[in-house]
Amino acid sequence: LLHGFDYKAILKAVPAQRMNGVAQAMEFVLSLDDGKTRFVQAVGDLSKAFALAVPNPRAMEIRDEIGLFQEIRSALIKVTMSESEKSPDDMETAIRQLVSRAVYSTEVVDIFAAAGLEKPDISILSDEFLSDVQRLPQRNLALELLKKLINDEIKTRMRKNVVQARSFAEMLEQAVRKYQNRALEAAQVIDELIRIAKEMRLAESRGQEMGLSDDEVAFYDALAENASAKQVIGDEQLRFLAQELV
């Protein structure tokens, strides 16, 4: 899966260069057809085989490579995968590694730092951060970063405003589907995700502009979702109902 990518250069790199190398490796994997899924599965299988082979000298000779592959795998899982996509074997494998100490322990890659970005709070994403993401040379990685950030924030908002969260989830799904169907290039999808992120940021201030609390906004959105009800009752009356009934 890493054929054509010089991963051995990462093994010799200093920490800062290593982080950048891992980001480049992730970009390479993500550019492959179903690369993320195949790489995660392959390294998982390799790690199990390695755990069985230790302390065979031939296995120990490649422990640095195994450690690097696991580092890339962990970063991919952390950045791009939801909980439902993660394998239950991940924790078991990690425990075996800690017990055997056969693989050099390395700090989990902060992929934002590796990409030269400060880790953001999606609710206050600045235009500066979004511009930095837009300029990242690793287009596939930038796309995955934005998708993960937005998806995590949608899950958070689902607990307080189901209607709003569902709307953003549909927008995200449509954008990703266009990319998967090759209807849009990575750069175009990144632009679309940035637009969604900006809309999510603006949505945070809706309550203040409307004079409503978060709970009142959620109630208002639930009522307003019915277009005919909003048309009959009117916006002002909906706001009044939200304030009185919540």
218 in Cβ contact with 163 (< 8 Å): yes
Q: Which residue has the tokens 């492959």?
A: 32
The predicted-structure confidence for 69-121, as pLDDT tens digits, reads as follows: 888 888 888 777 655 555 545 544 443 443 343 344 344 445 566 566 666 65
pLDDT beyond 60 at 160: yes
pTM for the model: 0.62
Tell me the C-alpha distance between 39 and 30, whole Å. 9
**Mean pLDDT, the chain, integer:** 76
